[in-house]
Amino acid sequence: MGIDLRITKDGRKVAIQTETKDKKSYWVRIPKKWWLESLKGLNAIERSILIDLRVYANPEGFCYPSLRRVSADLEISFNTTRKYLKILEKKGHIKIVITRRGNWKKWTYKMTQI
């Protein structure tokens, strides 16, 4: 699994390809303005996490991947993923809502700049 960043021939969009276990590919278009403005000043891990969340986001900016899913997509540890998600929240790029039901937690993310 991984993310492949590519700039299209017209130079206006950046596409992301993720691969799943069944080897299907999915593409997401990212506007150049978002790429240049929203990701400016972020380190590589923060950018990767924000882009991965964008892959899962609906048109309103909400996404629901688990921490395990995000860490598996980016091949980074669970704790590193949690650490950088909290950093992105402090920087104002996302809002995290954690819902608890007994021992079960569900993380919901709202992208503030979509």
Lay out the sheet containing 25-31: strands in order across: 3-7, 13-19, 25-31
pLDDT value at position 91? 93
For the chain, how many structural domains are there in total? 1
Longest dimension (CA), the chain: 50
Per-residue pLDDT of the chain (114 residues; tens, 9 = 90+): 455 555 555 555 454 555 555 555 566 677 777 777 778 888 989 988 998 898 888 888 899 998 899 999 899 999 999 999 999 999 999 999 888 888 888 889 998 876
Cross-strand pairs, 107? 98
CATH assignment at residue 42: 1.10.10.10
pLDDT value at position 95? 94
* Domain coverage including residue 38: 3-111
pLDDT value at position 11? 57
Three-class SS state of 81: helix
Report, in angstroms and rounded to the nearest whole number, the Rg of the chain calculated over CA atoms.
Answer: 14
Q: What is the pTM of this model?
A: 0.71
Apex CA 105: angle with CA 50 and CA 107, to 5°? 20
